[in-house]
Amino acid sequence: MLRIAVPNKGSLSGPATAMLHEAGYRQRKESKELVLVDSANDVEFFYLRPRDIAIYVSSGKLDIGITGRDLLLDSGANAEEILQLGFARSTFRYAARPGTATQVADLGGMTVATSYEGVVAKHLADSGVDASVVHLDGAVETAIQLGVAQVIADVVETGTSLRNAGLEAFGEPIMESEAVVVRRTGADPAEPKVQQFLRRLQGVLVARRYVMMDYDIRVEQVEKAVALTPGLESPTVSPLHHEGWVAVRAMVPTADAQQIMDQLYDLGARAILTTGIHAARL
Ligand SMILES: Nc1ncnc2c1ncn2[C@@H]1O[C@H](COP(=O)(O)OP(=O)(O)OP(=O)(O)O)[C@@H](O)[C@H]1O
Ligand SMILES: O=P(O)(O)OC[C@H]1O[C@H](OP(=O)(O)OP(=O)(O)O)[C@H](O)[C@@H]1O
Ligand SMILES: [Mg+2]
């Protein structure tokens, strides 16, 4: 049975559970459930703190986990990301009151508050900067107002938390993060159960990122139309009963669908339809 770690709290928890549910796995109904067996799919889910997940996976007690890239790196665990999941996207940055610093090189002798001590200590050391790091569990933006540090290093998404605290990000971002699937470094990548799990999640990503597009077009214009909708491999082109016309079917990125429909219409395509993809295996 495949043993999988799922975040039980925070920004990762809801989207991770939703993605697993979309991939056809049973998920817990209430947040007090810590372990759930999905016997139909031969999988056992462990709901754990996001910060601990890479550690469980690196120990080999669990086969696979979903966590954030920033948390994986901060843990220093012997685990690697094997699939990017596209949610909980964030940037990890230094921030301070305006005028404090413009780059990491300015931080010598200062104190940096963060929940990601591993990442920050390494970044300072790699940058050759001698600064102190103080670990706080959360709400680190307030550490400056309360005089615990001059600088923070934290997750930034919209920047609202920084603005509300009167802080500004500075310097190059330390890293970009998103939710990832992690596995113990060196574990067999061809393990069939793991491959099947990854294919299911990839299927959800495809279903979310693409729509199916159908349209009718005159034969003379089909090459131009197909250039707009090349599909993943190649679009399906079928003859219509009405001579001189063909029907085309191709997957297109959801984000571009409306623009492509306009361009197809201008080429003379008609009956242009998009439909959602419910699930996929590529
Ligand atoms: N506001 C946010 N937007 C996008 N991603 C975020 C945000 N806050 C945290 N993350 C990401 O979510 C992951 C989990 O972080 P964390 O466990 O701290 O979640 P949280 O939402 O901050 O919950 P908690 O209430 O436990 O602090 C990290 O990879 C982090 O980069
Ligand atoms: O740029 P923003 O959109 O404002 O998002 C970033 C904020 O979100 C997270 O905080 P969270 O709410 O998880 O609280 P925490 O600091 O206690 O973890 C993160 O630690 C930042 O504070
Ligand atoms: Mg947080």
Question: Cα–Cα distance between 64 and 56 in angstroms, integer?
Answer: 9
Same domain, 46 and 183: yes
Whole-number pLDDT of residue 282: 85
Query: Ligand 3 mean position to 163 CA, how many Å?
Result: 17
Residue of the nearest CA to atom 21 in ligand 2?
A: 155
* Site to substitute for ligand 1 among 6, 8, 9, 12, most atoms within 8 A of C-beta: 12
Specify the 3-state DSSP secondary structure of 119: helix
Same domain, 47 and 182: yes
Q: Is 50 in the pocket of ligand 1 (CB under 6 A)?
A: yes
CATH of the domain at 246: 3.30.70.120
- Determine, yes or no, domain membership for 244: yes
Same domain, 55 and 132: no
Ligand 2 neighbours, Cβ below 6 Å, are: 138-139, 141, 154-161
Query: Ligand 2 mean position to 176 CA, how many Å?
Result: 15
Same domain, 169 and 102: yes
Same domain, 80 and 183: yes
- Determine, yes or no, domain membership for 235: yes
Alpha-carbon distances, residue 256 vs 64, 160, 215, 249, 281 (angstroms)? 33, 29, 16, 16, 22
- Determine, yes or no, domain membership for 281: no
Residue of the nearest CA to atom 6 in ligand 2?
A: 156
**56: Cα separation from own chain's centroid:** 20
Query: Ligand 3 mean position to 138 CA, how many Å?
Result: 6
**DSSP states of 155-167:** EESSSHHHHHTT-
- Determine, yes or no, domain membership for 27: yes
Maximum Cα–Cα distance across the chain:
79
- Determine, yes or no, domain membership for 41: yes
- ipTM of this complex: 0.95
Same domain, 104 and 58: no
Question: Cα–Cα distance between 49 and 31 in angstroms, integer?
Answer: 12
Specify the 3-state DSSP secondary structure of 226: helix
Give the residue from 123, 151, 175 where a domain finishes.
175
Same domain, 108 and 73: no
Same domain, 75 and 182: yes
- Determine, yes or no, domain membership for 202: no
Locate 25 and state its tokens. Answer: 């796995």
Residue of the nearest CA to atom 6 in ligand 1?
A: 88
Among 30, 10, 42, 48, residue whose Cα is nearest residue 177: 10
- Determine, yes or no, domain membership for 194: no
CATH of the domain at 6: 3.40.190.10
Secondary structure element (H or E) that encloses residue 44, with its range: strand 43-48
Give the residue from 175, 195, 220 where a domain finishes.
175
Whether 201 and 183 have beta carbons less than 8 Å apart is answered as: no
Same domain, 219 and 112: no
Domain count, the chain: 3
- Determine, yes or no, domain membership for 165: yes
Q: Is 10 in the pocket of ligand 1 (CB under 6 A)?
A: yes
The pTM assigned to this predicted structure is: 0.93
Residue-range definition of the domain harbouring residue 130? 90-175
Same domain, 95 and 229: no
Same domain, 149 and 253: no
Locate 148 and state its tokens. Answer: 């615990």
Pairing of strands 210-218, 270-276: antiparallel
> pLDDT 10s per residue in the chain (282 long)?
999 999 999 999 999 999 999 999 999 999 999 999 999 999 999 999 999 999 999 999 999 999 999 999 999 999 999 999 999 999 999 999 999 999 999 999 999 999 999 999 999 999 999 999 999 999 999 999 999 999 999 999 999 999 999 999 999 999 999 999 999 999 998 999 999 999 999 999 999 999 999 999 999 999 999 999 999 889 999 999 989 999 999 999 999 999 999 999 999 999 999 999 999 998
Locate 199 and state its tokens. Answer: 């294919």
Same domain, 182 and 64: yes
Closest atom of ligand 2 to CA, residue 140? 16
